[in-house]
Amino acid sequence: MKMFDVYPLNNISITKAMGSWVWDANGQKYLDMYGGHAVISIGHTNPTYVGALTDQLNKIGFYSNSVIIEQQKELSEKLGALSGKEDYQLFLCNSGAEANENALKLASFYNNRSKIVAFKGAFHGRTSLAVAATDIPSIIAPVNQTDDIVFLPYNDVDALKAYFAEHGKDISSVIVEGIQGVGGIILATDEFLKAIRQVCDESGALYIADSVQCGCGRSGKYYSHDWAGVNADIYAMAKGIGNGFPMGAISIAPHIAPKYGMLGTTFGGNHLACRAAIAVADVMAQENLIENTTTIGNYLMEELKKIEGIKEIRGKGLMIAIEMPYDSSELRKKLLFEEHVFVGAAGKNIIRLLPALNITKEHADTFLDAFKKVLA
Closest CA to 360 of 14, 17, 21: 21
Kindly tell me which residue out of 88, 91, 123, 227 binds ligand PLP, with binding defined by CB under 6 A: 123
Asked if 101 is part of the footprint of ligand PLP (rule: CB under 6 A), the reply reads: no
Q: What is the DSSP letter of 44?
A: B
**Binding status of residue 119 toward ligand PLP by CB under 6 A:** no
115-119 vs 171-177, strand pairing mode = parallel
Read off φ and ψ for residue 284, nearest 5 degrees. -60, -40
Per CB under 6 A, 103 contacts ligand PLP: no
Cβ atoms of 104 and 129 within 8 Å: the answer is yes
Q: Which of 181, 244, 268, 344 binds ligand PLP (CB under 6 A)?
A: 181
The 10 Å Cβ neighbour count of residue 56 is 20
Q: Show the binding pattern over residues 222-241: x = contacts ligand PLP (CB under 6 A), - = does not.
A: ----------------x---
Cα–Cα distance between 91 and 185 in angstroms, integer?
A: 27
**Cβ contacts of 267 within 8 Å, gap of 6 or more:** 62, 94, 273
Closest CA to 353 of 310, 318, 316, 301: 318
d(CA 306, CA 191): 29
Q: CB under 6 A: which stretch of 14-22, 208-216, 290-298, 317-325 binds ligand PLP?
A: 208-216
Query: What is the closest distance, in whole angstroms, from the C-beta atom of residue 373 to ligand PLP in the complex?
Result: 29
Eight-class DSSP state of 126: S
Of 101, 177, 226, 323, the one binding ligand PLP by CB under 6 A: 177
The piece of 96-104, 265-273, 356-364, 366-374 that touches ligand PLP (CB under 6 A) is 96-104
Helix (H) or strand (E) holding 174: strand 171-177
Instruction: Determine which residue in the list 125, 220, 240, 344 makes contact with ligand PLP, applying CB under 6 A.
Output: 125
**271 contacts 247 by C-beta, under 8 angstroms:** no
Residues 317-356 that bind ligand PLP (CB under 6 A): none
Does 92 contact ligand PLP by CB under 6 A?
no
Residue span binding ligand PLP (CB under 6 A) among the ranges 121-129, 252-260, 266-274, 324-332: 121-129
Between 226 and 366, name the residue whose CB sits nearer to ligand PLP.
226
Closer residue to ligand PLP in complex, CB, 38/370: 38
Stretch that binds ligand PLP, among 7-15, 123-131, 157-165, 348-356 (CB under 6 A): 123-131
Q: At 221, phi and psi to the nearest 5? A: -130, 155
Segment near ligand PLP (CB under 6 A); pick from 91-99, 278-286, 310-318, 329-337: 91-99
Q: Which of 212, 247, 281, 290 binds ligand PLP (CB under 6 A)?
A: 212
Q: For residue 14, what are the β-bridge partners?
A: 24
CB 151 within 8 A of CB 116: no
Residues that bind ligand PLP (CB under 6 A): 95-97, 100, 123-125, 177, 181-182, 210, 212-213, 238
